[in-house]
Amino acid sequence: MSYPGNPSLAEDVRARILTTFRQSVEAAARGNRQEALLGSDFILRLDADFELARTLQQMLAAGEPAASYRALLEGLPVGRTPPPPAPQLASLAGSSPGLVASFARLLEARRFGDLLSAAQAQAAAVAGDPKVRELVETAQSRYEAEPFVRELLDHARRALGSGHLDEIDGLLEKARSLDPTHPGLAEIDRLRSSASASAAGSANGTISPAPEASRSCAYQYGVEMTPQPAAIPNVSAPDEICSRWL
């Protein structure tokens, strides 16, 4: 099967779409409906002619059984790695050190729009320098992926909030494949580590005093604390709990 979408798209864009579609179908087959919908939406933003993504959305809306989704992958071509620069262009690497440094700073600062505007204004220099082209392609890729990465990270935060820690690895893996430098990835990792530590503490029997017990401790030891609404009937706090709380 040839590429089932707009054939005029750049090869690296087509490869990214195919990879994302495969990941989305696998997510649907695992029952991760939201992740699959995010993936198909991202694909259609890049290529409105990619009808398989629309079919995936329709199947998800109809609640098709998980076993049926992988049929969408039959005959699908594997995304190819873009060829290396031609020798005559590779020999020009480093011919625009000032441009390379400037574009690298913009990329590090995540100023993708500014970088792409500058690249358009200096198209000849970009075309003649493989290092500059690589920076531009990276910026273009991350610029296009930003809305999708943001949605994936938002979904990961919701999964954390609801305690569905098993969903987070797949969401982060997909977000990282699109933009491994996105600052939201580190944030989710920190939140997940904190949630895992809390869960481990609970599993190990760590005592967490009830609000009324905490107030009893405060009264007993003369510690001031912000009043809290009563959650359970008044109880006397054992010294063991008070020592851990204080």
Q: What is the pLDDT of residues 22-74, one digit of tens each?
A: 888 998 998 888 888 888 888 888 889 999 999 999 999 999 998 899 899 98
pLDDT at position 200 is 63
pLDDT at position 79 is 53
Indicate if the pLDDT at residue 223 is higher than 60: no
pLDDT at position 78 is 66
When pLDDT is averaged across residues 8-19 and rounded to a whole number, the result is: 84
When pLDDT is averaged across residues 168-192 and rounded to a whole number, the result is: 88
Residue type, 193: S
**DSSP H helix total and E strand total for the chain:** 12, 0
Query: pLDDT: is 196 or 46 the higher one?
Result: 46
pLDDT at position 69 is 93
Indicate if the pLDDT at residue 109 is higher than 90: yes
pLDDT mean across residues, the chain? 75
Indicate if the pLDDT at residue 92 is higher than 60: no
Residue 239, SS3 per DSSP: helix
Crossing angle of the two packed helices 11-29 and 168-178, in degrees rounded to 10: 180
- pLDDT over 90, % of the chain: 17
